[in-house]
Amino acid sequence: MSKEQILEVIVRHVREAIPRLADHPFQPSDSLKALGANSVDRADIIMMTLESLSLNIPLIEMAKAENIGDLASVIHART
């Protein structure tokens, strides 16, 4: 799966967790925190993404990601 496809999965779950972002034009530089996702929302979004991709990666590895583009890169590196 490409990094872009992983980003699409992340965006889908962000929209699921934060419905008011349904029409937000997502960019890889978007920060989940800046978009209004609290720590629990962020953990849920990452877990939903890992579940969709059937990837078992420790959540701690995602901590360094500063935006959804970084997150896609970290996940892509483990696929």
Partner 1 sequence: MRGLDRSDIVISGVGVTSSIGQGKAAFISALLEGRHRFDVMRRPGRQRPPHSGSSLEDIAKSEHAPCFLGAEILELSVPESIPATMLRTASFSGQVAIATLHQAWEDAGLDKVAPERIGLVVGGSNFQQRELIQGHDAYRGREQFLRPTYGMSFMDSDLCGLCTEAFGIRGFAYTVGGASASGQLAVIEAIHSVESGRVDVCIAIGALMDLSYWECQGLRSLGAMGSDRYANEPALACRPFDRDRDGFIFGESCGVVVIEKQQSARRLERSPYALLSGWAIAMDANRNPNPCVEGEVAAIKAALERGKLSPSDIDYINPHGTGSAIGDVTELQSIRQCGLGHAQLNVTKSIIGHGLSAAGTVEMIAVLLQMKEGKLHPTRNLENPIEPSFNWTGSHAIFHTMENALNLSMGFGGINTAVCLQRCS
DSSP-derived 3-state class of residue 79: coil
Q: What angle do CA 6, 7, 12 make, to 5 degrees?
A: 100
The residues, ordered by sequence, that sit 6+ positions from 53 with a Cβ below 8 Å of its Cβ are 1, 6, 9, 75, 79
Tell me which DSSP letter residue 48 carries: H
64 interacts with partner 1 by CB under 8 A: no
Candidates 19, 23, 25, 60: give the one binding partner 1 (CB under 8 A).
19
Q: Does 15 bind partner 1 (CB under 8 A)?
A: no
60 binds partner 1 (CB under 8 A): no
Q: Is 68 in the site for partner 1 (CB under 8 A)?
A: no
**At its nearest, how many Å lie between partner 1 and the CB of residue 62?**
12
Candidate list 9, 10, 11, 50; residue touching partner 1; CB under 8 A: 50
